[in-house]
Amino acid sequence: MSVLAFVPRQIGLLLLGLVASASLAACDTPPARQRFPEITFQHLAPIRLDVARIEILSGYRSAEHPDDNAADYPEAPETLVADWARERLQAAGERGQATYTVVEARAVRVPLPRSSGISAALKTEQSDRYDLAITVRLDAGNPISGKSGTVTETVTRSQTVPENMTLNQREAMLFNLLDAAMKDLNQRLEKSIPQYLAPLIR
């Protein structure tokens, strides 16, 4: 075999190997996560409290709960719940303090029982249920006026999903679930804070 005949064959094999490697690499690359709108309440008027400072605490850590699936959400629920206070609460007094505590911001995926045998192959079943449970507490007091009060709110949301749901569909569902829970929390606090902390509203 001549050198001229050998070189094209080697080049062809090399190109074939590169194409195969690129194909395998493409198969191993996970799909990019979707981009969703920011869940925020900055566009709403602040809730002005007659205190000098506002402290934001979190008594919940998702990493401490093995069954917590907060990492599957576009944004961590506990972070958004804390951000609500940063965006909506405003210190408008000279003395006193308000403490906003994230008591719970738990996200859990619960596998659901499914049928077996022929009946399972003939229908699409719900495979999982996603639960969100959020609890916050707001304590506020002003030593000058002698007024103080506490507000506690809990929000829960759940959504089941079918077994044939795609990854993109699941991510969109989780975003909508979190968005709905945060809107519920905002609406409840907008009502309960003026109700139970009326003397401390500016």
**pLDDT bracket for residue 5 (50, 70, 90):** very low
- Arithmetic mean of pLDDT over the chain: 87
Structure confidence by residue, pLDDT tens digits, 72-107:
999 999 999 999 999 999 999 999 999 999 999 999
Structure confidence by residue, pLDDT tens digits, 155-177:
999 999 999 999 999 999 999 99
User: Is residue 14 over pLDDT 60?
Assistant: no
Whether residue 92 contacts residue 50, with contact meaning beta carbons closer than 8 Å, is answered with yes
Q: And the tokens for 58?
A: 């979190």
Pick the CATH number of 38-112+122-200 from 3.30.420, 3.40.30, 3.40.50, 3.30.160: 3.30.160
Whether residue 83 contacts residue 102, with contact meaning beta carbons closer than 8 Å, is answered with no
pLDDT score for 62: 76
For residue 55, the tally of other CB atoms under 10 A from its CB is 13
**pLDDT bracket for residue 44 (50, 70, 90):** very high
Which residues partner with 110 through β-bridges?
Answer: 129
Mean pLDDT of 179-189: 99
Whether residue 90 contacts residue 49, with contact meaning beta carbons closer than 8 Å, is answered with yes
Mean pLDDT of 43-55: 98
User: Is residue 2 over pLDDT 70?
Assistant: no
Q: Cβ contacts of residue 139 below 8 Å, gap of 6+?
A: 98, 99, 101, 148, 149, 150
Alpha helices in the chain (DSSP H): 3-28, 77-88, 118-121, 167-196
User: Is residue 129 over pLDDT 80?
Assistant: yes
- How far apart are the C-alpha atoms of 53 and 61, rounded to whole Å? 24
Spans of all domains in the chain: 1-30, 38-112+122-200
pTM of the model: 0.80
Whether residue 56 contacts residue 98, with contact meaning beta carbons closer than 8 Å, is answered with no
- How far apart are the C-alpha atoms of 198 and 192, rounded to whole Å? 9
State how beta strands 47-49 and 89-91 pair: parallel
